Amino acid sequence: MSRRRLSRRASQCVFFGIAALLFTASAAATIVWSASMSSMGRMPMPGGWTMSLAWTRMCGQTWLDLAASFLGMWVVMMVAMMLPSLTPMLWRYREALGRAGTTRLTRLTIAVGLAYFLVWTVFGVAAFALGLLLTALEMQWPALARAAPATTAVVVLAAGALQLTPWKARHLACCRNASGCGLTLLARAAAAWQHGLRLGLSCGCCCAGLTAILLVIGVMDLRAMAAVTAAVTVERLAPAGERVARAIGAVVVGSGLLLIAQAAGLG
């Protein structure tokens, strides 16, 4: 085996080893955080459901403290959920830069990853603001709170339908095919950031439906997180990603219809 091939294999082992450690740490932190939230209990609401305390201030907690806590939880959770599908894309990007003779591979790859998760952080800010608004409305109007189970069912149904659309297929293709295209530009740090931002935005749009399910079912529900992580990873890495996305969509549509039936008292 040539020295170059040995060097590549060693670099690959280090790269995926670091990614595995980062995933393990973020997944462990997410589990601990979820257990901590679960131990605090949930708030009973009209309509027979309970509200997560992720959207409510604790005694002595400021709004800024609550926002920082939520965003910290959100970023750690998203690293755990998105890293399995992002890691192969980052490796292909790094490999493409290496073939072009670019130096500073590690720095540029880190820049892409940081930019990618910056986009997810912005999505987290939007999710937090929307969660606070809905929580305030549900606390103020019991009729709206009673409609929450039906609303959740409709969101799940819509998320499943979104999986079947050309819009989803287009963004999924962008995520699956993201690599080191345009290397003469991506060899610069600023362009690497732009590449990561575009990739994060495209993948965020691709995951919009699945992320919506996570938000309405429970942002710190470990079963929901595991299911969404598996769905995102498989549809991006499986050979027939678009078919997998459609199959996931069909399952989610069925789940949404079941939830609607239950909300209507038919289940």
The answer to whether residue 48 sits within a structural domain is: no
Interatomic CA distance for residues 226 and 85, integer angstroms: 13
Per-residue pLDDT, 210: 93
Nearest to 247 by CA among 148, 180, 172: 172
pLDDT tens across the length of the chain (267 residues): 566 676 778 888 999 999 999 999 999 999 998 887 776 667 777 767 777 766 777 777 788 888 888 899 999 999 999 999 999 989 988 888 877 666 778 888 999 999 999 999 999 999 999 888 888 888 888 888 888 888 899 999 999 999 999 999 988 988 887 654 444 445 577 888 888 998 899 899 999 999 999 888 877 788 888 999 999 999 999 888 889 999 999 999 999 999 999 887 754
Q: Across the strands, what pairs with 45? A: 49
Per-residue pLDDT, 184: 44
Strand blocks (E) in the chain: 43-45, 49-51
DSSP 159: H
The answer to whether residue 18 sits within a structural domain is: yes
Is 46 strand, coil or helix?
Answer: coil
The answer to whether residue 1 sits within a structural domain is: no
- DSSP codes, 38-86: HHT--EEETTTEEE-GGGSPPTT--HHHHHHHHHHHHHHHHHHHHHHHH
Nearest to 248 by CA among 229, 262, 223: 229
| Pair 180, 199: CB distance under 8 Å | no
Is 49 strand, coil or helix?
Answer: strand
Cα 53 to the center of its chain, rounded Å: 20
- DSSP codes, 192-257: HHHHHHHHHHHHHHHTHHHHHHHHHH-TT-HHHHHHHHHHHHHHHHSTTHHHHHHHHHHHHHHHHH
The answer to whether residue 51 sits within a structural domain is: no
| Pair 88, 179: CB distance under 8 Å | no
- DSSP codes, 126-145: HHHHHHHHHHHHHHH-HHHH
Is 237 strand, coil or helix?
Answer: helix
Per-residue pLDDT, 183: 46
The answer to whether residue 245 sits within a structural domain is: yes
The values of phi and psi at residue 43, to 5°, are -95, 120
Per-residue pLDDT, 187: 56
Total structural domains in the chain?
1
The answer to whether residue 2 sits within a structural domain is: no
How is residue 226 written in tokens?
């595991």
* Structural domain range at position 195: 7-41+59-263
Interatomic CA distance for residues 138 and 144, integer angstroms: 6
How is residue 211 written in tokens?
């992320």
pTM value is: 0.87
Is 262 strand, coil or helix?
Answer: helix
DSSP 53: G
The answer to whether residue 199 sits within a structural domain is: yes
Counting other chains too, the contacts that 164-168 makes at CB distance below 8 Å and 24 or more residues apart are 164/246, 164/249, 164/250, 164/253, 167/205, 168/206, 168/209, 168/245, 168/249
The answer to whether residue 46 sits within a structural domain is: no
